[in-house]
Amino acid sequence: MTAAAAPTTARARPAPPADLARRAAELEAADALGDLRGRFDLPDDGSVYLVGNSLGALPRAVAPAVADAVQRQWGRSRVGAWNTEGWWTAPQRVGDRIGALLGAAPGQVVVGDCTSVQLHKVHLAAAAEARRRGGPDGGDRSGGRRVVVADPGSFPTDLYVLASDARLAGLEVVLAPPQQVPAVLAARGEEVALVALSQVDYRTGELWDLPGLTRAAHDAGALVLWDLCHSAGVVPAGLDEHDVDYAVGCSYKFLNGGPGAPAWVYVPHRLQAGFANPVPGWNSAARPFAMTGDFSPAADVAVARTGTPQVISLLALEAALTAFDGVDVSAVRARSLSLTGFALEALDALVPEVEVVTPREPDRRGSALALRHPRAWGLARALHARGVEGDFRAPDVVRWGVAPLYLTHADVLAAVVALRAVLDAGEHEAAERSERPTVT
């Protein structure tokens, strides 16, 4: 997120080198995904929006869908819209649309609440599932598996929620970066209930090995939870194919659901009957309208629901997901790699003094680039003034989130050229002294 005002583009944009401009045009012409920018309501001020990893751009379908939801559905159908307009089933209906992008068959993803709440649900449900399964020999049901392995570099919310849930459930949290998780499993695998990781590191854009780490967790008898906030919609996850146990994610980044859009949770069919939702509500009951005092859980993915869904936000998200209509996520991934690969090529040629933290290998790169510089805050501010919107992560990283549906190779080249111009003019030095917002 950023608290900054919209960028200005008052400064004349330097022309890119002819060879790189030709290369950008060639890559764009060869891209199989095609031009989907028309599906988004983008300003025509020449700005380059590289914060899709914080808040996706506005799809054109959203505004009329929200207007219809408010004016016609709510305004005219009123309470009847729960039935006539499908409000009640929206969490599963929209969940299926997201599931299609994650490699999940219908009936396994439900939308609602926020990522923090979904993490809380899964942490405690996984702990209960581990207890139900028992110890390594299947006979110890006293809670022998009480360890949760998590990445210390996870987004802070993931760690905050996990620490609280560990206190509630009497779990031990072991912190280990993903590359060290197999060693932890080899040493303590019989104690591990859950491995909780993010598919993409939010700071660096590094992509972790979801299939391999899932297999390693399962080989040790542990469950696995993947946070896909920074990969859903731009990196294939293959949740069903790789037998992932649980996944969560937000929908306002690369899924373009809008600020505060509801999160989602994946619970595969094989785990739904035993999913011990720690926040049960009337929406997760088997017969919600029976209004009984005794809770009986739903037999499908609705068991992961809690309270009344955020209907307006849900319908906005449903409309936003039409930007993916007819698009295979593998093609989105290919375009993402082309865009970030070309950005690396341009950075090497024009700005070699800026360190690229993101791995260069395609199979280790998500859809964001992290650039390290001692004056990173000043660079972010000076680029913003030139119409290039990125964000800053303390202490020294500028992040560029590359959204393949609406960015072009010419866009990423323009961003690199602007970075070169900022450094040459020393604009980042003055901008470094500007006040830093409390929200970045």
Which one is catalytic: 113, 158, 165, 227?
227
| Relative orientation angle of helices 156-169 and 115-133, to the nearest 10 degrees | 40
Instruction: Please state, in angstroms and rounded to a whole number, the distance separating the CA atoms of residues 136 and 211.
Output: 22
Which one is catalytic: 13, 155, 300, 372?
155
Which one is catalytic: 23, 131, 146, 253?
253
Instruction: Please state, in angstroms and rounded to a whole number, the distance separating the CA atoms of residues 52 and 401.
Output: 5
Is 155 in the active site? Answer: yes
Is 399 in the active site? Answer: yes
Which one is catalytic: 202, 252, 324, 406?
252
Would you state the structure tokens that stand for residue 89, as one six-digit string? 């089933």
Is 227 in the active site? Answer: yes
Which one is catalytic: 146, 399, 411, 420?
399
Residues with catalytic roles: 155, 227, 252-253, 399
